[in-house]
Structure 1
Amino acid sequence: MKKGALGASARRHQTANQTPRSGGSMRGLPQRCTIATAIGLALLPGLSLAQQAANEAGARTLDKVEVTGSRIKRTEIEGIDPVQMITAEDLEHQGFANVYDALSNITANTGVFVGEENTNNFNANAQALNLRGFGPGYTLVLLNGRRIPMLPKPAGTVSGNVTNLAMIPTSAVDRVEILTSGASAIYGSDAVAGVVNVILKDKVEGTTLSYRHGDTVHGGGRSERVSVTTGFEFGDTQVTAGLEWDRRWPIQGNQRRWFASPDRSPDPDYRDPTQVMSFWDRESGWDLLDISGRCDPLGYVPAKPGSATGPERYCGDNDFDSYTVRNGRKRLFGFLNATHALGEHELYATALSTRSRADAGMYRYGYAVDYEVVDDMQAAQPNAVAWRHAYRTFRNNEFPGSNQKFKENNDVIIAGIRGAVGRFDYSLNYNYGRYRYRDTVERFNDKAMMGLLFGEEGRDWSLPWAGSRWVRVGAGSLDANLMPNGNIDFFGQLSPEVFRDVMHTSVGDGRSTSQSFTADLSGNLFDLPAGPLAFAAVAEATRDSYRFITDQPTVDGDIYGWSGIRGSGKRNHYAVGTEFSVPLLAAGSGFGQWDAKLAARYDHYDDASDVGGAFTWQAGLSWRPSDWLLLRASHATSFRAPDMHVMFAERSSAYTSGVDYLSCVQQEGLQRGQSWQGCGDDYGTGSIRQYSEGDPGLHEEKGSSDTLGMVAQIGQNHSFTLDWYRIKLEEQVGLIGADAVLRYAAECALGFDAQGLDVDPNSPKCQTMLARVQRGGRNDSVLSVITSPFNTGMYQQNGIDASWSSTLPTDHWGRFSARISYTHILKTLSRYLPEDAVENIRDRQWNSEFRTRSNMTLGWDYKRFSSYLHFNRLGSSPVRWADSYERFRPWMTVNLSLAYRATEQLSFNLAVVNLFDKTPYRHASEKWWPYADITKYNPVGTEYFMTVEYKL
């Protein structure tokens, strides 16, 4: 086996920034690409070393290509950096519906991203990765090796932006390369936990039409997809283009039997219908008043709260139909890849355009108000008669609509020229991306709604009750039971028309852009005794901007039950970098083949932050003691510039949830060492006002990445990889949420933490946390919490990745294949502030990461027929709300893919996702809808897709 034989283990495709070797002709590119593609199609699965010897001659003649993780072109996919690959064929064989579904199931994606399965969050329509659990903003996503604009709406009040993979069409993807270690020395900021490079199809021949129909067995979620991809040549010009349209219907919150209604709760005290109308006496706390007579006319049922024994009743209903666990959406994609040969040079252009419309079903919207009843509003000192709280939610036929609507447009253009100058390859590239985003939702103007209820306006925020808004009203504005009866009967029949004058459309409008100019130069500098010294150099100039503006009344808190954020900023970024591939010893040296990689990069940020300049470097070493074994190691430094919204967020407020741990411990008499897990039952609230704003003084996060591994080919048909990794980040920017602030403040006030360990109330951390919580009112309740970004955190993860690939060709029964991937987190270290001790949080109850992830694909190809089974296993994970430490056992789903090629033009495919209808784990502590952690465990159940494809 010759030099580079190990690297022939994967399919070779020319990337968008491929250049010919010196002295070659650009007219030969289509023919060489066809050869490379033909060889690649023989090497299934994608990273298999199958039939290596049979294709060795072809492998030696392949053009060099640029593989993610390096700018130096080479013929080997396997090198110093661990790279995984998902091809278009893998998407089909593994049964996934789209690119995001496939990427979210790679084993390195150990973290959790909360998106559309929880519509009550800032990214309720986004799809993003969380490699190694660092967070979605720590993975760099590229399109044909170039950056693309981020989702303009941040992930929180003062949080970063993410790359939305929902904007990438499945039919346009040729393959995805995933670098599973840091690569700032090659790509700059964001490449901390890894790099995902989406490569679009090019050099396509002919036209392919495809139609796919999908549905779920439990209802909801039906989907349709139509795509056309075509490629043609005229003269020296080659064009690949495609269109894709897809529509997906929503899955409602009552369309799965395991969370279809309140009686599915594992706790008997939480099985009563959801409270949709209630009336309370607030004079001495919370005393329910009976309104059972108002329930039947509206189709509600009288219900009692939990285990209460009194005669008082509220009105209950099953309101889960208003939620969606998967959004409905419509999308239209278009893409283009074009090249034009000019002798030794080539013009190229790539365009991708996406139009998306979506609808997220949220909680049933409601309105609540606290009011003091006085005998005479005109008196100088009116006498208080009573204190009341009225609450009601509204069905869709009573209210203009509770759903949040999304409109998103994303456009990316990449253009440039590449070719050869002497013995060097060059590329001059300009890319521009623009992302437009808009979300809308209908809500009440709080002051106007009070006027509608009571026939008068006015608020008195100084009344001594905390946590709610209070209005003072005269008894004459109420009925005999002191219920609101101004212009409407609050507990009576209502229609959308009565709310016309009190409605407000809350609008979040965003725009982000990313444009850059890049110059690359690569080639062989000179020959060393062991081979040519290869190098690559890059210079970049980038300008990024973002703006997200929520309408001012929403930001100011004038809109009931809704909040907004605002921020805008821009930055200029300049970088230069270089990389060397140094042959140390040749294969025939007697000591095996030794190669080194050296890379360095300097990034300068011209913005309001304190980043300034950042220098990163990487050094790697590979050793091939024989033609079947590769050993590799690398060390790289990394950095990440603060997200623009974290720096430039305007002061904003939001209603958030949290637990009043201090009141819980004090009022329940909990002693040191007793669990605080149950505090959320009676001391949780969703009406805490959280104030946040950005900090332009933040500086870059700094880290490092280490890998040590091996690649082995065992015989002709088997391969094995094993890599240890350690990724560390210091001075991490973080924003602790309201619940964390309340927990820290409680620990500081009590002098001990939730585990019973001593806490110094006079420490800088405690002084900061205690100052962030404002209490007041009659019961000294939590009024507000202040959160802000900081630059003091540390996060580190150590783990191993392993894979095995095999193929078994037979003379009469076709070809069998198997591929297994496995990731195991060895430890996850975290520190909040510099004076804190470093903790191993891998097994902490609140850590939602999976300790292990693995998958396996088994395939059988026989003549015109193929069948594949894909197994996806999530390791054990903590039960988040359990009173004592427990873990869910591993969770596994199976996908089935069957394909039949009837003719050379016509083919059929059936894919079944979650073949055995695996449902999310439930636990007695999951008392509230959806009675399971659906951010970790997919709640869709079995889903199938039928595809017909015709090639013209």
Structure 2
Amino acid sequence: MAQQQEKLERVEVTGSSVRRIDAESALPVLVMKREDIERSGATSTVDLLRRVTAVQGATGEAAAVGGSSYGFSGVSIHNIGETRTLVLLNGHRLSQFGGQTLTGYAAGFDLNAIPVSAIERVEVLTDGASALYGADAIAGVVNFITKRDMSTGDVTVGISKPSAGAEEKRFSISKGFGDISADGYNLMVSYAHDERTQLLSLDRSYGKTGKIQFSHQGKRYQFKHFSVSPIPANATGDSDNLFSPHLKATGSCPEKTFRITEGADDYCGYDYVGDLEIYPERKRDSAFATFTKRLGDHEFFADLLWSKTQQVSRIAPVPGGILITAGSALHDKYLKPWGVTGNSVAYYRLFDLGKRVNNDTAKFLDLAVGMRGVYAGWDYNTSFTHSKSDVAGVTSGYPGDKAVAGLLGSGLLDPFVGPGQQSEAANKGIAAIHYKGYFDGGTAQLTPADLRGSRELMELPAGPMLLGVGVNLSKEDFESKPSLFAQGLLSDPVAGTVATKPEDRDQRFGDASAKPAFAVGRKSRGAFAELVIPVFKGFELGTALRYDHFSDFGSATTVKESFRWTPMPSLLIRGSLGTGYHAPTVSQLSSPLQSYGVTSDRYSCSEDTASARELKKMADSLGVLCQPGSRQYDQMAGGNPDLKPEKSRQATLGVRFEPNKALTLGADLWWVGISNAFGQLPEQLVFGAPATYASSWGTQKNVGTGLTYLAFKADNRNLGKSFHNGLDLDFAARMKLPVGDWTSQLTATYMIRERQQQLKNGPYYSAIGDYDAALGSVTFRTSGRWTNTLKAGAWVHSLGINFKSGFKDQEKTVEVLDASDKPTGATEKIRLNVGYFVTADWQTAYTLGKSFVFTAGVLNLFDKEPPLSISTSGNSRGQQFGYDARYYDPRDRTIYLNATYKF
């Protein structure tokens, strides 16, 4: 569990600044060695960390499906947050993601940047705010230790094949040159490439449609998840009610839609779920090199990591609103016969343009150079690092809003006909306004320099007192790089013509964007000192003090106290107390107010509910319109210069017991309290009580129709306090059997308590086993993994059991069905019980001679499908429906094969 730095038996433990012979520290550190990584069956760093039971609640690849995440995948320890979990590479900090947003979303490290083939081991510190790396590691630290000091080489090829879609092919090669002891130097280089195909929603029975029928507590129900923008279009009547001219004319809804009746609204909802690719297409390349040169008692080192991830996600064709003026040919033909006398808005899906496609590229570069060794009795390490994440999003399937209105005004576009029924001239006009190209992106950079050292300070009766000290300087920069189209500055997005007058500016159809470009940065410096004091034999105390100064926040001082007690050789008792400090990102502070997509869920002003009536009153008070029907609302967001840093307190108490070499047991109780927690008010909370959150409302003008609607402001705030505590457990047993060596290991996390405020001095909410609308997420009460391995000669067999507890789903209003599954006209509010989920993974590896290793395995051996969930909103969810893609993998049973040649 520690990082070997030299031939002496002195090691550096993640979470501490002192180098010592004994690697077992006062802080809880979980270690995954290379053999554990290989037996997990994980083909990426993202999948690898999902197998760590203390990890939950991070953004995954599913968020890219309609979520504009640029493929970001983070890590969150104990669901405390990926922005509060510090990720290191060989002990040094890494740049945040270049595609992060102004709300702090994706403001962590993108795990896709580190190839799993280059990792020697992973150390997960589940206690926060270490003095060594920074006080912002409130949830904990994940330290990736790469291969180094090797002269051998290996080549691995592999494939993974689910039942349909998401097939992977991969290749990696590593080679070392030189030996530090014999040659005085070592160079290790590694390259990896992998590709994955997309997975269609239609290839999964549980995720292919937004219309689901199910049983709950002995009754049958139906729920519909849809868009109000179908093809042919819906339209507004004189009373702002929403109706379908096609439905009125034919008596039925068109293909890919179903009928929706809500109050005065009677229209056809578009089943966009069937158009999704629920697991995105991806291609990754990465290269890593590490060089070490011995110079007497010193070593020069240089580490270089480069990676490029390209991800393509496809969703349904673009929807949007089109103004149909009274007296126009379209109005007289399609709307006037149904009593519409005034202007109307047609809610239409530009199906003939094809699917919306996000082609995102994330590049990452990290260079670390430095010296380490022994000088004047000090073990020292000094380094300079430059880390950069560059993200670019290329889109297609989007026209300009004004461009669509212009095509309508020309008489060519008819939004009330079905797919493929436009005239040839209209199809040419649609193709002419199709924007394909760069839309948005950003660059994040981190440039730190640090010097740290440790030594034995004095000899005490119980052993040497150890001292660790260090200083660091850092510069952090972020630049948001929206295109001129994304900034809303073009009059003709396809031609790239800059608008000379504000009223000529066009925005993206159906998803207004007027995002200004900006660049911000900060500088910081820090210093720390740590003492490890042996009080009496078997008992030592640790104390650490850290000082940080930020150019935009001033200074902060944090502390860490710990103890380590071994009353007998087989028993270790340890504990810690500490404080932390987490500054908002530079964009959370300084970015201007701007468009920020749309809400994840749909809301209605026309329903006969208190919240709908309040929503209508809020729109009226601002002199704007409610969205007709059940629709997503425009969002706005911006920086908040008054945002205060988060402050934390944390504590751990743990025990490790090893009565003999065949048995190990461990338990660590942890607690984290955070004040001034920053974030955004969840949309479900605000739309549930619009008048209570009056400051969360704004307005947004649709440049195509000229109409102004109510908009939700997801602005950055200090939300209040949050408290989290739980228990991490591990058990390992080893035994020699007649057939071979058997090892059994169980790791589990049990969440005891969670309380979070969404307003300062407001009520507390908990997501443990409960999809709480105020939090927009779920915390699993229990998660674990039980792995059994049998080594028998050249064969190694492993069986892993993954388990997580169930939860109560988001409350939804559903239709009641009769015995023949026909709607009765009645509705009920229900909360599904999402059940306990267990999957099994099998792997067999065979070593042929000294050079070849062949591995075959099956993930999700019994093809367990994700449980039914009808939630439709939440943090980093994506557009998938029928299951919750944040928590369950839709790849289902996956067979994989790997072949490795060592040389």
TM-score under structure 1 normalisation? Answer: 0.80
Task: Determine the structure 2 residue equivalent to 1:707.
Answer: 652
User: Displacement of 1:813 after TM fit?
Assistant: 1.9
Q: 1:332 to 1:178 in 2, by over 3 A?
A: same
- How far apart are 1:943 and its partner, in Å? 1.0
For residues 143-188 of structure 1, what are the alpha-carbon distances to aligned partners after superposition, in whole Å with 9 as ceiling and x for unaligned? Answer: 0000111111124656461210011101100011000011243321
Q: Which residue of 1 aligns with 2:283?
A: 330
How many matched pairs?
820
Query: Which of 245, 248, 252 does residue 289 from structure 1 map onto?
Result: 245
Partner SS for 1:100: helix
Helix, strand or coil at the partner of 1:276? coil
Look up the match of 2:529: 578
Asked if 1:786 is matched to 2:735, the reply is: no
- Secondary structure of residue in 1 paired with 2:891: coil
Aligned match of 1:612 in 509, 531, 554?
554
> Match of 1:845?
771
Distance in 2, Cα, partners of 1:114 & 1:227: 23
Cα distance, 1:771 vs structure 2:
6.5
CA deviation after TM superposition for structure 1 residue 669, in Å? 10
**SS of the residue 2:117 aligns to:** helix
Aligned partners of 2:455 and 2:195: how far apart in 1? 46
| Equivalent runs, 1:211-222 vs 2, <5 Å | 211-217=157-163, 219-222=164-167
- Render the CA deviation track for 1:299-343: whole Å, top value 9, x for unaligned: 973865147999x99697x75564222211111111111111111
User: Are 1:447 and 2:434 counterparts?
Assistant: no
Q: Distance in 1 between matches of 2:869 and 2:31?
A: 37
**Aligned match for 1:877, one of 799, 807, 825:** 807
Equivalent runs, 1:225-236 vs 2, <5 Å: 225-233=170-178, 235-236=183-184
Cα distance in 1 for residues equivalent to 2:698 and 2:323: 23
Counterpart pick for 2:674 among 729, 735, 742: 729
2:784 aligned with 1:833, yes or no? no
Distance of aligned partners of 1:88 and 1:400 in 2 relative to their CA distance in 1, 3 Å threshold: same
Q: Deviations over 1:261-290 (max 9, x none)?
A: 456554557499994322435223123212
> How far apart are residue 659 of structure 1 and its match?
5.5
The whole-number CA distance in structure 2 between the counterparts of 1:405 and 1:272 is: 25
In the other structure, the counterpart of 1:625 is: 567
Deviations 1:23-73 (A, max 9, x none): xxxxxx4xxxxxxxxxxxxxxxxxxxxxxxxxxxxxxxx611111111112
User: Which of 536, 551, 567 is residue 468 of structure 2 equivalent to?
Assistant: 536
Query: Using the alignment, how far apart are the partners of 2:722 and 2:322 within structure 1?
Result: 43
Asked if structure 1 preserves the Cα contact closer than 8 Å seen for 2:841 and 2:857, the reply is: yes
The 8 Å contact of residues 118 and 190 in structure 2, kept in 1 or not, is answered as yes
The 2-side partners of 1:805 and 1:599 are apart by: 32
Q: Which amino acid in 2 is paired with 1:815?
A: D
CA distance in 2, matches of 1:260, 1:313: 22
User: Corresponding residue for 1:253?
Assistant: 201
Amino acid at match of 1:211: V
Q: Would you say 1:402 and 2:356 are equivalent positions? A: yes
Q: CA deviation at 1:920?
A: 1.0
Question: Which position in structure 2 is the counterpart of 1:600?
Answer: 545
CA contact (8 A) 1:794 1:831 kept: yes
- SS of residue in 2 equivalent to 1:186: coil
Q: CA deviation at 1:505?
A: 3.9
SS of the residue corresponding to residue 133 of structure 1 reads: coil
**Superposition RMSD in Å:** 3.5
Q: Are 1:819 and 2:767 matched, yes or no?
A: no
In the alignment, which of 16, 20, 26 is matched to residue 80 of structure 1?
Answer: 26
2:90 aligns to what?
144
Shift of 1:433: 0.9
Which of 237, 240, 243 in structure 1 is aligned with 2:191?
A: 243
Distance in 2 of aligned mates of 1:72 and 1:585: 19
Q: Are the equivalent residues in 2 in contact too, given 1:138–1:194 (CA < 8 A)?
A: yes
Change (3 A) 1:684 1:492: same
Distance 1:628 1:404, change over 3 A: same
For the residue of structure 2 that corresponds to 1:815, the secondary structure is strand
- Contact preservation (8 Å) 2:680, 2:719: no
Maintained 8 Å contact 1:348/1:415: yes
What whole-Å deviation, never above 9, does each CA across 1:428-448 have from its counterpart, x for those lacking one? 211111111100212111111
- 1:797-827 residue CA offsets vs partner (Å, 9 max, x unmatched): 01111110111124x4210001111111111
Check whether the contact 2:326–2:341 (CA below 8 A) recurs between aligned residues: yes
Task: Give the aligned partner of residue 135 of structure 1.
Answer: 81
Report if the CA contact (8 A) 1:276-1:315 is conserved: no
CA–CA distance in 2 between the matches of 1:775 and 1:241?
52
Question: 1:449 aligns to what SS in structure 2?
Answer: helix
- Distance, in Å, in 1 between the alignment partners of 2:867 and 2:541 is 48
Quote the Cα distance in structure 1 between the aligned partners of 2:844 and 2:133. 39
Mapped pair 1:98 → 2:44: yes
Q: Does 1:915 align with 2:869?
A: no
Q: 1 CA distance for matches of 2:610 and 2:531?
A: 65
Q: Is the 8 A contact 1:655 1:687 kept in 2?
A: no
Distance 1:616 1:942, change over 3 A: same
Cα distance change on mapping 1:260 and 1:502 into 2, 3 Å: closer
The worse-fitting range, judged by mean Cα deviation, of 100-109 and 284-293 is 284-293
Shift of 1:862: 0.7
How far apart are 1:118 and its partner, in Å? 5.0
Summarize the alignment of residues 149-160 of structure 1 with structure 2, pairs less than 5 Å apart: 149-155=95-101, 159=105
Check conservation: 2:548, 2:557, Cα contact below 8 A: yes
User: What is the distance in 1 between the residues matched to 2:789 and 2:346?
Assistant: 61
2:127/2:140 contact within 8 Å kept: yes
1:718-757 matched pairs, under 5 angstroms: 718-746=663-691, 748=692
Write the distance in 2 (CA, Å) between the matches of 1:491 and 1:705: 66
Cα contact 1:535–1:580 (8 A) shared by 2: yes
Q: 1-side partners of 2:425 and 2:866: how far apart?
A: 38
Summarize the Cα distance change of 1:579–1:309 in structure 2 as closer, same or farther, 3 Å threshold. Answer: closer
Mean alpha-carbon deviation: is it higher for 207-216 or for 260-269?
260-269
Point out where structure 2 has 5 or more consecutive residues left out of the alignment. Answer: 215-220, 331-338, 489-505, 615-626, 813-828, 874-878
| Shift in CA distance, 491/660, structure 1 to aligned 2, threshold 3 Å | farther
**Aligned-pair distance for 1:84?**
0.3
* Offset of residue 212 of structure 1: 0.5
Counterpart residue identity of residue 292, structure 2:
T
Structure 1 equivalent of residue 137 of structure 2: 191
Give 1:775 shift: 11
Give 1:689's aligned residue. Answer: 634
Cα offset for 1:368?
Answer: 3.1
Distance 1:160 1:314, change over 3 A: closer
CA 1:118/1:343 → structure 2, altered by over 3 Å: closer, same or farther? Answer: closer
Amino acid paired to 1:431: T
Identity %: 21
Larger radius of gyration: 1
Q: Does 2:294 align with 1:341?
A: yes
